[in-house]
Amino acid sequence: MRASLFQYDPRVIRSLKKSVVRTTTLFYLYEIYPNATYPAEISRNTGIDASNIIGALRGMKDRYNGSSSLVEMGLVDVIEREGVKYYKLSEYGKRTVEFLKIYMKNGGYNKVILR
């Protein structure tokens, strides 16, 4: 896929540039795709506090804007089973990460270290 062919929302890119937590969470979900997981597991594997992961995924009143959350922007899907919420990278989220990997390797936006 060529980066120039992907239609991305500049609001999404801006949101990811403003938050290392959002970007790290998104890249972690890309690594385990197509599997779903829960915030505590993301926290354990990224070293980021679980409350910050929840804020990045779905927003939090004071610290994370809900409209800029990964779920609200369509990058992550919520799967609810037996009252437990799991999070999985959406197809749009997958294409966004692939675009960012190409963009970052070409010298743009290197805030995140690619794994």
Residue 1 near residue 8, CB atoms below 8 Å: no
Between 4 and 14, the more confident residue is 14
Q: How confident is the model at residue 107 (pLDDT cuts 50, 70, 90)?
A: low
Reply yes or no on whether the pLDDT at 84 is more than 90. Answer: yes
User: For the chain, which residues make up each domain, given as ranges?
Assistant: 8-105
The amino acid occupying position 45 is: N
Per-residue model confidence (pLDDT) at position 102: 83
- For residue range 38-71, list pLDDT tens digits in order: 999 999 999 999 999 999 999 887 777 778 899 9
Average pLDDT over residues 70-74: 95
Q: What's the CATH code, domain 8-105? A: 1.10.10.10
Per-residue model confidence (pLDDT) at position 108: 52
pTM of this prediction exceeds 0.85? no
Report DSSP state, residue 72.
T
Q: How confident is the model at residue 2 (pLDDT cuts 50, 70, 90)?
A: very low
C-alpha 78/C-alpha 80 separation (Å) is 6
Between 50 and 8, the more confident residue is 50
- Cβ atoms < 10 Å from Cβ of 92: 16
Number of H helices and E strands in the chain, helices first, is: 5, 2
Helices (H), ranges, the chain:
10-18, 20-32, 39-46, 50-58, 91-105
